[in-house]
Amino acid sequence: MSAPSSGGASRDGYGSALLKLSNDPRVVVLEADLGKSTKSCLFRAEYPERTVSMGIAEQNMMLVSAGMASSGKIPFASTFAIFTERAFEQVRNGIARPGLVVHICGSHGGIHTGTDGSSAQSIEDLAIYRTIPNMTVMHPCDDLSAEELTLQLLDHGKPSYTRTARNKVPRIYDEETVKGIKIGKGNIIKDGNDVAIISCGVMVNEAKIAAEKLENDGINACVVDMHTIKPLDGKLIDKLTEQCGCFVTVEDHSIIGGLGGSIAEYLSKNKPTPVEMVGVNDRFGESGGTKELMSHLNINSDAIINAANTVIKRK
């Protein structure tokens, strides 16, 4: 099996983390015929005796993982984000409800799935897993942070869902800065006080580009990588409410129930503050190139700039 591709696809980080976790004999890996895509194939190539092939049967995979967790293993089970959803009730009833520590990775999340079209574009995964008690929900932005957060899952002690992405994006972190990230803590990529742009996954890069352009217009934006959607870093939101007074949320996900939804819930309960959401606007995607689609669905740096200008006026 080939080594991780260079660059910053978060799925590569998941694969390399599994290899690093192999030192712990409790770690087992489960696949549903998509190991080459989710990158669990890297573990399988080295440790076939600890890799469990489930075939194209996601519901079975989730409960086999649960059974293994109940027997002292730490299972990492992956497939495409959209196909984890097929086993949503299995995750809910079989994993989270008894609090069994299974780590699920849904790769190819969002519209960044290549040109397969809407059937493969999970734009609701973050929302649905966030509703389940006991679940940690993450969406890292590049390979290095995906690796770091996956490594931290070893001692996490709770079931989790991590969405990774197919496509490479410019790295947000380097080997040093990535050591500072922690599950459950948002990370300020660029500080600023006019507007807080909270993003996750591949959209962190778009947020960064938008902030640079806004800077040229004299708007000083703060950019946050909110890699953990649940538990949400409320302390950071409180700080940014004081510091910036308005928010733009950015995700390759439906604007309903995901990162934007969770921040809106938090703010409306604690300190109502203007929010504009950039995300897939309650519709399905379609086939197309990544850039074309992002533009078509209005989830790129231009959309973030527009949202920032709008929300600042609402302050």
Catalytic center residues: 58
Dihedral of CA atoms 163, 167, 169, 173 in degrees, nearest 10, equals 40
Instruction: Examine residue 99 and tell whether it contacts other proteins (CB under 8 A).
Output: yes
Q: Rank residues 52 and 120 by Cβ distance to other proteins and give the closer one.
A: 52
DSSP 224-266: EE--EEES--HHHHHHHHHHHS-EEEEEEEESSSSHHHHHHHH
Which of the residues 242 through 301 are near other proteins (CB under 8 A)?
A: none
Q: Rank residues 68 and 169 by Cβ distance to other proteins and give the closer one.
A: 68
Q: Which tokens sit at 122?
A: 């999970």
Least gap, CB of 99 to other proteins (angstroms): 6
CA angle 222–224–225, rounded 5-degree value: 160
Closest Cα to residue 11, out of 172, 137, 165? 165
Quick count: other Cβ atoms within 10 Å of Cβ 50? 15
Instruction: Examine residue 49 and tell whether it contacts other proteins (CB under 8 A).
Output: yes
Least gap, CB of 157 to other proteins (angstroms): 15
Instruction: Examine residue 55 and tell whether it contacts other proteins (CB under 8 A).
Output: yes
Considering only 29, 42, 64, 299, the residue that binds other proteins (CB under 8 A) is 64
Distance CA 75, CA 65 (A): 6
Considering only 90, 121, 122, 164, the residue that binds other proteins (CB under 8 A) is 90
Least gap, CB of 98 to other proteins (angstroms): 4
Considering only 9, 19, 27, 52, the residue that binds other proteins (CB under 8 A) is 52
Least gap, CB of 49 to other proteins (angstroms): 7
Q: Which stretch binds other proteins (CB under 8 A): 52-60, 177-185, 252-260, 269-277?
A: 52-60
What is the distance of C-alpha 200 from the center of its chain? 6
Instruction: Examine residue 71 and tell whether it contacts other proteins (CB under 8 A).
Output: yes
Considering only 94, 258, 261, 285, the residue that binds other proteins (CB under 8 A) is 94
Instruction: Examine residue 193 and tell whether it contacts other proteins (CB under 8 A).
Output: no
Least gap, CB of 293 to other proteins (angstroms): 33
Instruction: Examine residue 133 and tell whether it contacts other proteins (CB under 8 A).
Output: no
Quick count: other Cβ atoms within 10 Å of Cβ 122? 26
Distance CA 7, CA 266 (A): 34
Cα–Cα distances (Å) from 53 to 21, 22, 32, 35, 272, in that order, read 19, 17, 6, 9, 48
Residue 277 bridge partners (DSSP): 249
Least gap, CB of 183 to other proteins (angstroms): 23
Considering only 4, 20, 47, 59, the residue that binds other proteins (CB under 8 A) is 59
Closest Cα to residue 224, out of 212, 237, 242, 238? 237
The contact set with other proteins (CB under 8 A) reads 28, 49-50, 52-55, 57, 59-60, 62-73, 75, 89-90, 93-94, 97-99
